[in-house]
Homo-oligomer: A and B are copies of this chain.
């Protein structure tokens, strides 16, 4: 029995006796060399050795349907990504202080996917770095320090990003310049009112900052509010809050690390579903299908003064190999109509889960957009008291049946279903069948 992991939903509890002998050895070796910050998933961790499309395979040849991983957005081991990256790696891989056509080609192509005012890009290697940079830019541009985020937000792991990531747990301190607002709760609020109610909480947060003597630099929101339990609809949900923020002189930072690149099945970015145009957009996870690349996209106005006054050079960011991976991702999303697939498969999956929920009152609310879907579990349908134990149990029983998902939400009672984008209706049926058995 090893150290108990803390403060993470769906973490391995350290009981190695449940593991097969080979994995016991591996887990013990791992524990000797990796710092205790590392946590494994599931009561019985998974040890995949090969992956393809939406499937993982372990050393015994068992296969797992991947309904969790959003980084390999165009599928595990995608051959087009492999081809472009391998070719580039054999050609050249320098940095952005030389002139490189492919970096410019990709930038033009990426920016064409954004509404007109968003015209410039800065590359980073991770979503955390992009969030950190977006905060630096917003603070420099507005001359203010105050930042607002949601009460169970996750925006990253740099010091500045962790300060706005309350979901990291009680020992992670929230910055003195940060005010948290409760995210919409679509299981318990009237969705038609949720947006206006949220905007009122944002107005209160601005007043709270002012009471601390702070002006508003920015509000940052994950457009699918993943760690707040996946709160993405109805359309326009975040628009009233964005107006409040803009009126107070703050920038709106759309964190599209989770919702970007077509996952929500309606256009490329989650913010379009909220009928708002951000000042800064943060991109990450799926951007290079696992090769580290992320970015801040912004209006000329937001990026201009910071860019002129402050040097920002990120050694690996936007290097030709990362750009090759990112180019391949756009190619495959377009070629295989993956946004349309996300919408269609997502609707199929939502409908299937709602049918299951009819027979299982503890599955109180099914929601989501495209291939980012949530199912919320409660102890009883009247009190709507969260039931994290049941959610965790389902996740682990699905894992035993070869289907990988995880949990989310402030109470960890929300199933989080977020597969690679080539997930099609037959994969959805496979998941639904497993869910039926597990709930029976």
Contacts and interface: CB of A to CB of B under 8 A. Distances in A.
Given A107-B34, A307-B36, A90 B82 contact: yes
Contact of A157 (B171, B291, B312): B312
A383 interface: no
Interface of A: 3, 6-8, 23, 26-27, 29-30, 32-41, 45-51, 56, 69, 71-72, 76-77, 79, 81-82, 85-86, 89-101, 103-104, 107-108, 111, 119-122, 125-129, 132-133, 135-136, 157-160, 162, 168-169, 171-172, 284-285, 289-292, 296, 298, 303-304, 306-317, 319, 321-322
Most chain B CB atoms below 10 A, which of A46, A81, A91, A298: A91
Given A40-B98, A126-B126, A93 B72 contact: yes
A93 B107 contact: no
Number of copies of this kind of chain in the complex: 2
Contacts of A72: 93-94
Nearest to A10: B97
Most chain B CB atoms below 10 A, which of A132, A168, A298, A319: A132
A104 B39 CA distance: 14
Given A93-B77, A99-B47, A169-B311, A125 B303 contact: no
Nearest to A318: B34
B171 A159 contact: no
A149 to B, nearest CB: 15
Given A82-B89, A169-B310, A292 B292 contact: yes
Nearest to A36: B307
Given A34-B120, A90-B82, A99 B159 contact: no
B125 A171 contact: no
B171 A33 contact: no
A314 B128 contact: yes
A47 B122 contact: no
A51 B94 contact: yes
Given A30-B99, A94-B56, A104-B29, A306 B47 contact: no
A45 B98 CA distance: 6
Nearest to A41: B97
A343 to B, nearest CB: 25
21 contacts: A26-B101, A33-B104, A34-B96, A37-B122, A38-B96, A40-B97, A46-B98, A48-B94, A48-B100, A49-B92, A56-B92, A72-B93, A82-B86, A82-B90, A93-B289, A129-B158, A132-B132, A136-B162, A158-B160, A284-B315, A292-B316
Given A47-B99, A101-B26, A129-B128, A120 B172 contact: no
A105 B317 CA distance: 27
Given A34-B104, A47-B100, A171-B309, 4 more contacts: A34-B107, A35-B122, A71-B315, A292-B292
